[in-house]
Amino acid sequence: MADMMRRLLGFVCAGCLLFAQSEEPQPPVVDPGGGTQPLSDAIALFNGSDMSGWVNDKGEPATCEVSDGVMTCTSGTGNILTTGTFQSAQIHLEFATPSMPDHTGQLRGNSGVYLHARYEIQILDSYENPTYPKGALGALYGQSPPLVNAARPPEQWQSYDIVFHAPQCDQSGAVTKKAAVTVLLNGILVQDHVTIEQGNACGPGPLMLQDHSGFEGAPVTAMRFRNLWLRKLHD
Ligand code: MG
């Protein structure tokens, strides 16, 4: 038995030596931050003090209210978009839906995170608020329901962590590989590398947050966001 252990250890150590001598490049160092410190290679999409870097869908400065590191976007503000664009990215954001007990389904706390201003990851108050699954919190809207309902109650902070792989295209501008998305809601997997079937388009795009209003009977919704950042990925 002892002899077997010695041989095993010898094998393991020989392996260590081989790896130690490898000349493969080391992964880049990223300081993960912590507390109020962001990741060292993240791009902050919101500076916490004003709406710099955001416009509405007419291209005018975004008019969400900002206080204590939180932006509050109320119906009528319009969809808001980042002025910067990206291809593939890891995205983090935190949001809190308002309490809207007088409304149900899609009218209760509706917003959305639009990747490239095109593919919607739904934001909805889905806490004890059933709706069609492809329109629930955590859905790739209209295509893929969330794997689980991981919603917190309204007014509580929730998080999205999204890994988005943009469509790949050839030189003529034709899509050669469709986009794909992985989403964690409150740290729980809700979309697992799902291929986005509709609307694939080439080129970079902004991040857009939805103002779900402007139609008859739309309630006033005040959606809060904070800690929005993005890391560009290289496919
Ligand atoms: Mg929506």
In this predicted model, what pLDDT tens digit does every residue of 111-135 receive, in sequence order? 999 999 999 999 999 999 999 999 9
Element (H, E) at 8: helix 2-20
Q: pLDDT, tens digit, for every residue of 159-210? A: 999 999 999 999 999 999 999 999 999 999 999 999 999 999 999 999 999 9
Residue 4 lies in a domain: no
CA of 197 to the centre of ligand 1 (A): 18
Q: Is the pLDDT of residue 76 over 80?
A: yes
Ligand 1 centroid to 169 CA: how many Å?
Answer: 28
- pLDDT above 70: residue 23: yes
Expressed in angstroms and rounded, the spacing between residue 7 Cα and the centre of ligand 1 is: 60
* pLDDT tens, residue by residue, 212-231: 999 999 999 999 999 999 99
Domain membership of residue 156 as a residue range: 33-232
Percentage with pLDDT > 70 across the chain: 90
Query: Is 23 part of a structural domain of the chain?
Result: no
Strand pairing partners for 119?
115
Task: Answer yes or no: is 24 within a domain.
Answer: no
Domain of residue 43, CATH code: 2.60.120.560
Closest C-alpha among 157, 200, 207 to residue 45: 207
Answer whether residue 17 is part of any domain: no
What is the average pLDDT value for the chain, to the nearest integer? 92
- When divided into structural domains, the chain yields a total of 1
Which pLDDT score, from 0 to 100, does residue 19 have?
Answer: 58
What is the per-residue pLDDT for 5? Answer: 53
The whole-angstrom separation of Cα 46 and Cα 52 is: 7
Q: Is residue 26 part of a domain?
A: no
